């Protein structure tokens, strides 16, 4: 059962998201021309007002031309400045009532500014991709842009027929008319706005492994000249999927896709049911396999089980980092204990001023957060023992499937599986800046 934590404005990005309402469903219809980088689009947004009557609300949307806005079919008053579409309905929406917003917009999509450079819609040499973490979703569609507001999506994208469109979710239809093709994807699982993934390019599609009866369909979408290297680099992903389902519980979505772009990316990008890699992550020698594991693990931790706000990002990245170590351990590489020891040595030589449970906006993507997050999971594993630890992880994923969580929820969850108190252990790793001692000189292999 998914547990939806209450959340107000995000403390790291207070201008993003509006806690006065929540979205149930987005239906997006996009017409995109890669050459001129021209987007014309409409959105139908089904939402529910909060505990107070809604006299106005805000959608986040970048600097596009707004063609029309309607609330329950009526024209509202609205303003559009600074990436915020502020809407005042003709008649206030009653507390707890459902309402529908329609927005028509057009323009040349581009990344939005963030402390880490541009994020969101990125025009490529021949196509486009979306890499929205953490605040890039408004670069291409109007949304209640906070991770706690999860909704289902239907996305229709019309492009010239030479291009393939890949989005997270299930491909419902692909219809070609004259020189254009319309692709319609459905993502039924609750999805945070930043996790709506999209890639437009010239790809070959391959099946990864054999899903068989009850298996997870896995596809790769790759430029033709990278296909041979991709086949080696991602050959073990089906085995990885099996291991993670054993350790974390059933895969939480209908299928999983990976896209490799023609261009280089600093890091791969996770989206719901979809991960995007750069050409630099394909070398034919499995040189980026730990990243393949990391992005796959995010489907459980970060995507299905999402954070209530960005203070808790370690729950995404720490669990995905530890999944890298578990895959290494299970696939004949270094053990989690060996990798924890290496991470501990690295962190001990770096500044001791990171508080994992609330790192601050500037440090939310600091390498130390990933490594210390992995070490925290390893410390919990050493304290609980393997049987209780993996029972705890599976339960975490199942209990909060489709929902949102906080660090406090995680610490309470861990305590239920511990035979001895773990409060001090978790306080030291999560809330204190000093690096605690290396956990577990001896840890059995996972499984």
CATH number at residue 263: 3.30.2010.30
> pLDDT tens across 356-383, in order?
999 999 999 999 999 999 999 999 999 9
Percent of the chain surpassing pLDDT 70 = 97
Tokens of 308: 């209530």
- 437, part of any domain: no
Q: What pLDDT score was predicted for residue 2?
A: 45
Contact 222, 260 (CB under 8 A): yes
* 414: CATH: 1.10.390.10
How many structural domains comprise the chain? 3
Task: Please report, for the domain that includes residue 115, its CATH number.
Answer: 2.60.40.1730
pLDDT digits (tens, 9 = 90+) for 188-202: 999 999 999 999 999
Active site residues: 295, 370
Query: Are residues 327 and 402 both part of a single domain?
Result: yes
Claim to verify: residue 60 and residue 146 sit in the same structural domain: yes
Quote the pLDDT of residue 210. Answer: 78
Residue 438, in any domain of the structure: no
Cβ-in-10-Å burial (0-12, 13-18, 19+) of 375 comes to buried
Q: Say if residue 235 is in the same domain as residue 358.
A: no
Consult the annotation and say whether 294 binds a ligand: yes
What's the whole-number mean pLDDT along residues 15-19?
97
Prediction pTM value = 0.95
Dump pLDDT digits (tens) for 140-177: 999 999 999 999 999 999 999 999 999 999 999 999 99
CA distance 257 to 187: 13
Q: What would the mean pLDDT of 232-255 be, rounded to a whole number?
A: 96
Do 152 and 4 belong to one domain?
Answer: yes
- Token pair, residue 133, equals 């973490």
* Residues 120 and 155 reside in one and the same domain: yes
- Residue 175: count of CB within 10 angstroms of its CB: 11
In this structure, the answer to whether residues 178 and 277 fall within a common structural domain is no
CA 210/CA 224 separation, integer angstroms: 21
Of the pLDDT bands very low, low, confident and very high (cuts 50, 70, 90), residue 444 is very low
Question: For position 213, what pLDDT does the model report?
Answer: 67
Scanning 149-282, the segments in alpha helix (DSSP H) are 227-233, 237-248
Q: Is the peptide bond before 134 cis (omega within 30 degrees of 0)?
A: yes
Nearest by Cα to 378 from 327, 430, 336 = 336
Residues 44, 157 within the same domain? yes
Instruction: Tell me, yes or no, whether 238 and 132 share the same domain.
Output: no
Domain coverage including residue 273: 203-303
Q: Are residues 42 and 174 in the same domain?
A: yes
Q: Please check whether residues 119 and 8 belong to one and the same domain.
A: yes
Domain identity same for 132 and 49: yes
Coil, helix or strand at residue 204:
strand
């Amino acid at each position: 059962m998914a547990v939806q934590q209450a959340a107000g404005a995000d403390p790291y990005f207070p201008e993003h998201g509006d806690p006065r309402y929540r979205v149930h469903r987005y239906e997006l219809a996009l017409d995109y021309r890669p050459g001129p980088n021209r987007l014309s689009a409409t959105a139908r947004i089904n939402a529910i007002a909060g505990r107070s009557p809604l006299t106005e609300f805000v959608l986040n949307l970048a600097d596009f031309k707004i063609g029309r806005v309607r609330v329950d079919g009526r024209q509202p008053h609205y303003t559009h400045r600074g990436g915020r579409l502020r809407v005042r309905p003709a008649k206030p929406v009653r507390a707890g009532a459902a309402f529908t917003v329609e927005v028509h917009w057009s323009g040349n999509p581009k990344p939005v500014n963030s402390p880490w450079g541009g994020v969101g819609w990125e025009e490529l040499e021949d196509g486009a991709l979306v890499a929205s973490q953490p605040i890039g979703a408004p670069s291409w569609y109007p949304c209640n842009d906070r991770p706690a507001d999860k909704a289902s999506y239907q996305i229709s994208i019309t492009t010239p027929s030479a291009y393939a469109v890949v989005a997270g979710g299930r491909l419902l239809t692909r219809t070609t008319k004259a020189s254009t093709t319309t692709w319609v994807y459905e993502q039924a699982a609750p999805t945070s706005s930043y996790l709506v993934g999209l890639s437009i390019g010239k790809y070959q599609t391959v099946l990864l492994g054999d899903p068989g009866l009850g298996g997870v369909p896995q596809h790769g979408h790759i430029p033709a000249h990278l296909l041979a290297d991709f086949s080696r680099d991602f050959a073990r992903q089906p085995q990885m999927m099996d291991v993670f389902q054993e350790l974390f519980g059933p895969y939480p979505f209908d299928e999983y896709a990976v896209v490799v772009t023609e261009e280089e990316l600093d890091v791969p990008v996770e989206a719901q049911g979809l991960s995007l890699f750069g050409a630099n992550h394909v070398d034919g020698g499995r040189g980026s396999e730990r990243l393949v594991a990391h992005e796959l693990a995010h489907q459980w931790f970060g995507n299905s089980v999402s954070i209530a706000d960005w203070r808790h990002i370690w729950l995404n990245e720490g669990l995905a980092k530890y999944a890298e170590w578990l895959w290494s351990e299970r696939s004949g590489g270094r053990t989690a204990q060996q990798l924890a020891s290496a991470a501990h040595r690295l962190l001990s030589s770096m500044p001791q001023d990171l508080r994992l449970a609330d790192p601050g906006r500037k440090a939310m993507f600091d390498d130390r957060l990933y490594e210390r997050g992995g070490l925290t999971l390893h410390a919990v594993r050493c304290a609980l023992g393997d049987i209780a630890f993996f029972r705890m992880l599976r339960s975490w994923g199942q209990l909060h499937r489709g929902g949102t969580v906080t660090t406090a929820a995680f610490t309470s969850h861990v305590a239920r599986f511990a035979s001895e108190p773990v409060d001090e252990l978790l306080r030291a790793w999560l809330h204190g800046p000093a690096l605690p001692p290396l956990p577990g000189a001896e840890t059995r292999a996972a499984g």
